[in-house]
Amino acid sequence: MPSPRQRPLSSLGEFGLIERLARRFGSVGGPTIVRGIGDDAAVVRSVPGRHLLASTDMLVEDVHFDLRYASLFDVGYRAAAANLSDIAAMGGFPEYVLMALAIPQVHTTHDIDQLYRGFMALCGKYHVRLIGGDTSSSPQGICLAVSILGHVAPHSTLRRDGAKVGDQLYLSGTVGDSLAGLLLIMGSEDRFDRSLADRASRHLIKRHLRPTPRLELAQLLAARHLASAAIDISDGLSSDLGHLCRNSKVGAVIHADALPISSACRSFALAAGKNPVELALQGGEDFELLFTVPQQARPSLDRLIQRHRLPLTRIGTIQDARQGLRVKFKDGSHRQMPKSGFDHFRQPAMTS
Ligand code: ADP
Ligand code: MG
């Protein structure tokens, strides 16, 4: 007799499963949720004077994750991180999530609980509540599509299209870690000696499997109107900078030496015979924030960085669109930014 945590999905059925999820992870009532899971649609109170933010992000087994390397808890956690990061990149406050899940019948109730536990672990940290979803069997592989709702003050919205020539480019945290972590767990770097750098490799793997969205930081920048444009790093710095610049109709130069690269990523690159600058430019899914700051806002930003010890690095400058996207090196030489980042229809599977 299987334990209740390990029951096959057929023993519960679709509706039994939804009831279980609603009971364990769903949100009902409170001042804002008029109707949670259980009706044809959730009903939430809207707040006058605020803009509603809505976004969806999908994770597909063997495209975005591989269950040989990631646990279902990790998968749920990352689904939450990717969605929360999109709200962060708008300068917004996340409020509600809906989870559409397609799952093969070989999985058990325990597997689904683990997925939702990981998902709610990060959502709960930001008081984001589960108010609905959809459930389907899947002939092959898990697919989860998360929708997120949030709000933003109309005049504080961070957009991709506000960068102007002369604005400075800033990046939060470090970039390249997630890709290094992915390469590590996929074991494709057989020259990398895990026993030599255990703490560093654990750090990189965690950065890949359990990324942190930059919500507080983005909210701070948005409230103070310090950023003229922003985007989160999901496809990779070079690719996401490309999105920001195309939307803003500008170009940019990035200083290779200024790129914030963790010591863990550097030692990985060294051991694996890779260029850390390439990892930083091309690695996706760091969920850091890339944003532009007008010259006149820089003193306020500097004060904010000092007061809150913000992990921000100035990495370059916005230029005229005719300059394109360039990387500048210590010796003064320039080169065009490599065209990179993940494109689902142009590359083999297994990354962002
Ligand atoms: P419908 O047939 O109208 O789509 P469902 O039976 O799919 O209704 O869903 C019933 C309720 O359960 C709805 O409130 C829906 O949002 C919620 N729900 C369904 N699947 C999930 C899920 N995987 N996670 C969270 N909520 C879900
Ligand atoms: Mg449905």
pLDDT above 50 for 246: yes
Digit-coded pLDDT (tens) for 17-70: 999 999 999 998 778 999 999 999 999 999 899 999 999 999 999 999 999 989
What whole-number distance in Å separates Cα of residue 277 and Cα of residue 261? 8
Beta bridge partners of 20: none
Closest ligand to C-alpha of residue 21 is 1
pLDDT in tens, 115-133: 999 999 999 999 999 999 9
Work out the pLDDT band at 339, boundaries 50, 70, 90: confident
> Looking at the predicted structure, is the pLDDT value of residue 349 above 50?
no
* Nearest atom, ligand 1, residue 98 CA: 25
**Residue 4 confidence (pLDDT):** 64
Whether residue 189 contacts residue 205, with contact meaning beta carbons closer than 8 Å, is answered with no
Please give the full DSSP string across 241-262, using - where no structure is assigned: HHHHHHHHT-EEEEEGGG----
Question: Does ligand 1 come within 6 angstroms of the Cβ of 21?
Answer: yes
Contacts of residue 125, Cβ cutoff 8 Å, sequence gap at least 6: none
Beta-bridge mates of residue 63: none
Between the CA of 175 and the centroid of ligand 1 the distance, in Å, is 37
Distance of alpha carbon 325 from its chain centroid, rounded? 23
Cα-flanking dihedrals φ and ψ of residue 13, to 5°? 75, 165
Helices (DSSP H) in 50-197: which residue ranges? 72-88, 109-125, 177-186
Closest CA to 54 of 32, 89, 86: 86
The Cα 339–Cα 348 span in angstroms is: 16
Whether residue 184 has its Cβ less than 6 Å from ligand 1? no
pTM, entire model: 0.93
Closest atom of ligand 1 relative to the 36 alpha carbon:
14
Is the dihedral angle over the CA atoms 153, 156, 158, 161 positive or is it negative? positive
Mutate to test the pocket of ligand 1, among 9, 14, 75, 135 (most ligand atoms within 8 A of CB): 135
The owner of tokens 């690719």 is 239
